[in-house]
Structure 1
Amino acid sequence: MNRLLPLIATLVAAPASLHAAWPNGTFFTAPYGPGGTWNLYKTVDTTMTWTEAQSMAERSVDPLGKTGKPGHLVCIGSAAENMFVYQKVLGHYIWLGMSDNEKYGGKEAGSDRTKGWHWVTGEPVTFQAWRSMEPNEYLPTGEDAVAIESSGRWGDWAIGSDGQQMDFRNASMIEWETRSPGPVPGAERIRRVLPAKWRVDLSNNERNGPGDGPWTVMSVLGIQSFSIWTAVMDLQVRMSLLKDSTRRCQRVNYHVEYGISLAGGWTEVKDHPDFPMVKDTCAALHVAKVKLDKPGTWSINVHGDDYYAVRFPGHKWKSVSGLGGIDPLDPETMYFESESGDGNSIGVIDLPAGESTIEVLLVNRTADGMIQVLAAPGEHVLDGSTDQWRDPGHKAAGDLAWPGIGSKGWTVIRKDLPAGAKPMESLQDAMGLPASAPSVTAENVEKLNYIDSDGASDIKFSNPVEVPGDRPGAQDQFMVMAQAELVIPRDGLYQIGIYSDSKAALRIADQKWLRFVRDNTYKGKLEGDTIHVEDEDRNGNYGMLFGEVELKKGSYTIEALYVNLKSPCALSVFGAPAGYAPRLLAKDGGKIEPDIDGMPLVMPAAAK
């Protein structure tokens, strides 16, 4: 009998916490050491300050590997290791072995992500997963420690020593650098995410169940979704009992519950499956055949809630960006295993000419779920790296009318809070800044795609530039106003939006917004010709307001307003013909261009 099964049975029967977790004091071994060697880990759900947790770890000599090495707070080198820590420790927040405190090898970083942060082991910082507005050195006494927060993302915290607050106490994980060539005996070893072979082969084209389309789907309700691994084990057992229960669907782009209009995804998610998928625990395996005329590099863009995995059997991922990662025991599998309303990953893979199989697993753990799979030719690492994302199997629909900006570009004004003035708290405060406030004006700006040079934040579009008037060091309490001529090349429905880290508004003069396509802030407001949001927290996620508007061919005044209070900075304005991946609203960008086909899928003979 598998020695893990009794433990799994206990865990899946336990009440659900904020995320999956294992009992305090569980030892794990996993291949996250140099060159894929196996280190030893221990879960600690006793809450302590960062300094106390690191001190305890340093006093703990390797108990199983027999190396005699002291431990340390876990140091993370990949998205897979980050998800491993997040899933295994019972704690709302989890300390990491990272600091910008000089005592631990760091150097004061403030809100800079690229300088000063240091792993306690001295290993290079090759992976980071900051929340959108972190780090921010928010407390006046300093924040020299790092913890995993919601969705497996990071924030900086008070370290609990050197004058910094003592009342932040979190769970942690101890790591020992055993660097074993194989699993450390006596510890629970991690398993591969997907089985080498599914018990039911959905890749043949003979399973033509109800529905139509290139995807064959098998779904199971009431799945054991404590972790992606337990869900896969349960699915393997259940699918052999339900081997004739398959459906077909046109695309993997849906939300589980009806009426969830603001689900995640890079383009709008509006489908609902016609196969069994319900709120709370369920899973679905989707399989299709890709057929390419010639070999090439493709990028696969996945947004999901909660867990997902994507595999092209026989082909390894070249890279994965975003919140997901590559399975260290199976380089053919890209996956995400951290509860999130919009977990996102982009995998890059080389595919040969001819047929290849693609497998997409979705596991829904709590509340509503969703999945969106898009593909684009070439190598991309950001949602906004290309506007060529299409549903696999998409057929070009003639030509597309792209919104853009007129030949004068954007006029951008940045205003800083005058010395001695009351700090801004709202969009209205920003609009009320006096004409005498320190300001900088930039004209003939090609596109709005800004970032603070010393307060890096999440970005969605490639090559952001510094905000006009940017100075060395992170800056707070400023506003950005931008205005341009919006050019619409043809009558139709358009989806236009603004991306930011703080308070923001977007207005198309005298044109009424119809609805939100996406509102990542969950607090956006749509009022006449303006969409706006006053919330700057957003649960640590980036803020996107993406609205739909019907416009006639012609020109319109478009205005954007952004207010930075105390955080890193990012600002972009973008648009698309309704239903397509957006591009930045750029100078001379209002054009009609041909649509393109998506990644070609094989349509089963019975469904053609």
Structure 2
Amino acid sequence: MNRLSLLLVALVAAPASLLAAVWPDGTLFTAPFGPGGTWNLYKSVATPMSWTEAQSAAERSVDPLGKTGKPGHLICISSAAENMFVYQKVTGHYIWLGLTDSEKRGGKEAGSNRNGGWHWLTGEPYTYQSWRSIEPNEGESTGEDAVAIESSGRWADWPMGADGQTEPRHASMIEWETRSPEPVAGAVKIERVLPEKWAVDLADWKGRVRGEGPWTVMSVLGLDTSSIWSVVQGLQQQMPTSTVAYRMSNMNYHVEHNNFFAGGWVEIKDNPAFPMFMGSCAALHVAKVKLEKPGTWSFNVHCDDYAAVRFPGHKWKSVTGLGGIDPLDAETMYYECESGDGCMVGVIDLPAGESTVEVLLGNRVFDGMIQMLAAPGEHTMDGSTDQWRVPGHKAAGDLAWPGVSSKGWSVIRKNLPTGAKPMEKLMDGMALAEDAPAVTAEGVEKINYIDSDAASDIKFPNPANLPGDEPGGQNQFVVMAQAELVIPRDGMYHIGIHADNRCALRIADQQWLRFVRDTSYNGKIEGDTMHEEDPDRMGTAGQLFGEIELKKGTYTIEAFYVNLKSPTTLSVFGAPAGYAPRLLTKDGGKIEPDIDGLPLVMPVAAAEK
């Protein structure tokens, strides 16, 4: 069955609520996103308007419940939870935000700079952001001074429909600053994501089981998956009727067995032995952690579509990435914006002894997947550490890490010559003239670059400025990097490139075997080269992670990147097959001991009855 056929089957089988918003247009909501967790009032507006029209309409809308007498404004966002709330409650592919870099509205022209010039209409601090990988980019010549939420809950700058800018028309949400210590009466109150207690205690399951492993799982098919709340409600209703639970070894699987899908920071390679399928379904996974001493742990979760993780009795210290902490339950971190690669990294303190962990997965249509990795210490992004392991992992002796030789990387940055035709494709960059203006850097330790005033999504901390970096965001340039790849032992390796735009990675005269991750969904392998033209399909910067078999020795590795018009990120990384990668650094080809993962308790064995 081809992908189109699968789409038709999934849509026909899906509940009607999958194809429409859960809440009707004009619904009033109350949620604790005001200062200090106070409750504000919100209204969804599905009618498409320009940003200027939507804000004007909001300003004319006095608090409809009469709590403050104040006018409204387009929604201003201060957390991932609030961002997900807006994305889920408004009917519209794009949703206007009260964020602008218009000088007339208190901002300052930002161009491609995510951190400078942006202003919330309320004047509240601009501390939270969720830009798409190639945004903001001032894509239209007349200007883009407004911001809207797009797919996966990520943002883009748009023309605001004033001051000579065009008039795209989107849905919106109005916010009134009620700042009530209690939920505003007369509005729909948002609820906590997970119930205080599940209808079935899987941590103490005494019924029939199938399979083996530390995770006890119960799955339900045919749920209303229009929101994470409808998923939870469906599970609560149907779990008590289930007569069998399942056991599995790893929290690292996707539902569809035959097709390739993107998500995860390490390869998604295991599939569940319990019934899940490409359609509306969900699963609750429960395990027990057992630590010899208390400590801080970080949890790296990738999902498609919804996910929530809870350690009952223990609060999350922080959550980064696309997910957030439930404002009504600090024990739960969650993501609910339907993405091929929803991701979040949470930090939590765990005590000595046993703790229960609950992981929820909700799948709308197509392939669902979940991956949860853990690492000791406090980490905030995928590439913060190479110690991510699937919980329950047992050290496999030692690991052969790829790196580059003591010569480091040789990097050339070429700018488009004055008067030359703008580049549009990867090959345009490869064909750039030899005498194009260039800057060269030798002996570079690692490839982990940004444009200082136009940085895109990063996967590794502390990226360096591009060679020849100048003030402001630059466009229309090429980066070429070359090094001696050092392989310390014969084996299978996973090596990759991360970039916001068109890129390629080559290991000379060696054949890539397959992709283990391709967040662009359109990467290609051609002999010793893998490349992609348009990585922004899912709103995330492109990641090509390929599998290759290499003998001990050195090889020429080349990375190629073309920036058209957008913020910039570029990194090159690798790992022994199956492990979280690290940057390919100077003098980095080494053999090092593996480590155990977060220890899990094996439930009492039980055979299928």
TM-score by length of 2: 0.96
Matches within 5 A, 1:165-176: 165-166=166-167, 168-176=168-176
Q: What is the distance in 2 between the residues matched to 1:384 and 1:518?
A: 15
**Alignment-derived partner of residue 586 in structure 2:** 587
Q: What is the distance in 1 between the residues matched to 2:377 and 2:262?
A: 27
Q: What is the distance in 2 between the residues matched to 1:405 and 1:225?
A: 46
Q: What is the distance in 2 between the residues matched to 1:428 and 1:500?
A: 16
Give 2:529's aligned amino acid. Answer: T
**8 Å Cα contact 1:29/1:40 also seen in 2:** yes
Secondary structure, aligned partner of 1:606: coil
Task: Indicate how the Cα distance of structure 1 residues 407 and 198 shifts in structure 2: closer, same or farther if over 3 A, else same.
Answer: same
Please report how far the alpha carbon of residue 390 of structure 1 lies from its aligned counterpart in structure 2 after TM superposition.
0.5
Give 1:220's aligned amino acid. Answer: V
Matched, 1:362 2:361: yes
Give 2:236's aligned amino acid. Answer: Q
Matched, 1:190 2:190: yes
Q: What is the distance in 1 between the residues matched to 2:208 and 2:75?
A: 48
**8 Å Cα contact 1:208/1:216 also seen in 2:** no
Matches within 5 A, 1:94-493: 94-166=95-167, 168-204=168-204, 206=206, 209-242=209-242, 244-493=243-492
**8 Å Cα contact 1:517/1:547 also seen in 2:** yes
Matches within 5 A, 1:23-38: 23-38=24-39
Give 1:449's aligned amino acid. Answer: N
Please report how far the alpha carbon of residue 240 of structure 1 lies from its aligned counterpart in structure 2 after TM superposition.
1.1
Please report how far the alpha carbon of residue 367 of structure 1 lies from its aligned counterpart in structure 2 after TM superposition.
1.4
Matched, 1:47 2:48: yes
Identity of aligned residues (%): 73
Q: What is the distance in 2 between the residues matched to 1:311 and 1:431?
A: 48
**Alignment-derived partner of residue 528 in structure 1:** 527
Q: What is the distance in 2 between the residues matched to 1:195 and 1:431?
A: 55
Give 2:53's aligned amino acid. Answer: E
**Alignment-derived partner of residue 74 in structure 1:** 75
Secondary structure, aligned partner of 1:142: coil
**Alignment-derived partner of residue 64 in structure 1:** 65
Q: Number of aligned residue pairs: give it.
A: 594
**8 Å Cα contact 1:226/1:365 also seen in 2:** yes
Task: Spell out, residue by residue over 1:529-562, the C-alpha distance to the aligned partner (whole angstroms, 9 max, x if none).
Answer: 1111122543422101111110000000001111
Give 1:232's aligned amino acid. Answer: V
**Alignment-derived partner of residue 4 in structure 1:** none
Task: Spell out, residue by residue over 1:489-537, the C-alpha distance to the aligned partner (whole angstroms, 9 max, x if none).
Answer: 0000001001001111111011011111111111111011111112254
Secondary structure, aligned partner of 1:246: strand
Task: Indicate how the Cα distance of structure 1 residues 184 and 48 shifts in structure 2: closer, same or farther if over 3 A, else same.
Answer: same
Q: What is the distance in 1 between the residues matched to 2:400 and 2:110?
A: 45
Give 1:275's aligned amino acid. Answer: F
Task: Spell out, residue by residue over 1:188-224, the C-alpha distance to the aligned partner (whole angstroms, 9 max, x if none).
Answer: 0000000001111111264561100000001101112
Please report how far the alpha carbon of residue 298 of structure 1 lies from its aligned counterpart in structure 2 after TM superposition.
0.3
Give 2:224's aligned amino acid. Answer: Q
Please report how far the alpha carbon of residue 434 of structure 1 lies from its aligned counterpart in structure 2 after TM superposition.
2.1
**8 Å Cα contact 2:298/2:374 also seen in 1:** yes
**Alignment-derived partner of residue 5 in structure 2:** none
**8 Å Cα contact 1:144/1:159 also seen in 2:** yes
**8 Å Cα contact 1:65/1:185 also seen in 2:** no
Give 2:386's aligned amino acid. Answer: D
Matches within 5 A, 1:539-554: 539-554=538-553
Q: What is the distance in 1 between the residues matched to 2:581 and 2:515?
A: 15
Q: What is the distance in 1 between the residues matched to 2:22 and 2:126?
A: 26
Please report how far the alpha carbon of residue 263 of structure 1 lies from its aligned counterpart in structure 2 after TM superposition.
3.1
**Alignment-derived partner of residue 570 in structure 1:** 569
Task: Indicate how the Cα distance of structure 1 residues 359 and 120 shifts in structure 2: closer, same or farther if over 3 A, else same.
Answer: same
Matched, 1:14 2:16: yes
Q: Which runs of 5+ in 2 are unaligned?
A: 1-13
Q: What is the distance in 2 between the residues matched to 1:355 and 1:376?
A: 17
Which range moves more in the overlay, 281-290 or 219-228? 219-228
Q: What is the distance in 1 between the residues matched to 2:535 and 2:383?
A: 22
Q: Say what the alpha-carbon RMSD is for the aligned residues.
A: 1.3
Please report how far the alpha carbon of residue 310 of structure 1 lies from its aligned counterpart in structure 2 after TM superposition.
0.3
Give 2:18's aligned amino acid. Answer: A
Give 1:392's aligned amino acid. Answer: P
Q: What is the distance in 2 between the residues matched to 1:215 and 1:435?
A: 57
Task: Spell out, residue by residue over 1:40-69, the C-alpha distance to the aligned partner (whole angstroms, 9 max, x if none).
Answer: 000100000000000000000001142101
Which range moves more in the overlay, 427-436 or 188-197? 427-436
Please report how far the alpha carbon of residue 435 of structure 1 lies from its aligned counterpart in structure 2 after TM superposition.
2.4
Q: What is the distance in 2 between the residues matched to 1:207 and 1:159?
A: 59
Q: What is the distance in 2 between the residues matched to 1:536 and 1:188?
A: 38
Task: Spell out, residue by residue over 1:354-407, the C-alpha distance to the aligned partner (whole angstroms, 9 max, x if none).
Answer: 000000000111111100011000111110110111010000001000000000
Q: What is the distance in 2 between the residues matched to 1:447 and 1:65?
A: 58
Task: Spell out, residue by residue over 1:412-471, the C-alpha distance to the aligned partner (whole angstroms, 9 max, x if none).
Answer: 011101111111222222222222211111000000000000112100001001010011
Please report how far the alpha carbon of residue 607 of structure 1 lies from its aligned counterpart in structure 2 after TM superposition.
6.5
Q: What is the distance in 1 between the residues matched to 2:44 and 2:425?
A: 42
Secondary structure, aligned partner of 1:437: coil
Please report how far the alpha carbon of residue 87 of structure 1 lies from its aligned counterpart in structure 2 after TM superposition.
0.2
Please report how far the alpha carbon of residue 592 of structure 1 lies from its aligned counterpart in structure 2 after TM superposition.
0.4
Secondary structure, aligned partner of 2:510: coil
Q: What is the distance in 2 between the residues matched to 1:418 and 1:478?
A: 9
Give 1:121's aligned amino acid. Answer: T
**Alignment-derived partner of residue 8 in structure 1:** none
**8 Å Cα contact 1:213/1:607 also seen in 2:** no
**8 Å Cα contact 1:305/1:339 also seen in 2:** yes
**8 Å Cα contact 1:261/1:269 also seen in 2:** no
Q: Which runs of 5+ in 1 are unaligned?
A: 1-11
**8 Å Cα contact 1:220/1:283 also seen in 2:** yes
Secondary structure, aligned partner of 1:605: coil
Q: What is the distance in 1 between the residues matched to 2:495 and 2:180?
A: 52
**Alignment-derived partner of residue 6 in structure 1:** none
Task: Indicate how the Cα distance of structure 1 residues 69 and 192 shifts in structure 2: closer, same or farther if over 3 A, else same.
Answer: same
**8 Å Cα contact 1:263/1:370 also seen in 2:** no
Secondary structure, aligned partner of 1:429: helix
Give 1:578's aligned amino acid. Answer: A
Secondary structure, aligned partner of 1:81: helix
Secondary structure, aligned partner of 1:540: coil
Q: What is the distance in 2 between the residues matched to 1:328 and 1:312?
A: 16
Task: Indicate how the Cα distance of structure 1 residues 206 and 398 shifts in structure 2: closer, same or farther if over 3 A, else same.
Answer: farther
Task: Indicate how the Cα distance of structure 1 residues 97 and 21 shifts in structure 2: closer, same or farther if over 3 A, else same.
Answer: farther
**8 Å Cα contact 1:513/1:528 also seen in 2:** yes
Q: What is the distance in 1 between the residues matched to 2:130 and 2:523?
A: 25
**8 Å Cα contact 1:256/1:272 also seen in 2:** yes
Task: Spell out, residue by residue over 1:213-249, the C-alpha distance to the aligned partner (whole angstroms, 9 max, x if none).
Answer: 000001101112121111111110101111x320100
**8 Å Cα contact 2:318/2:347 also seen in 1:** yes
Give 1:73's aligned amino acid. Answer: L
Task: Indicate how the Cα distance of structure 1 residues 14 and 607 shifts in structure 2: closer, same or farther if over 3 A, else same.
Answer: closer
TM-score by length of 1: 0.96
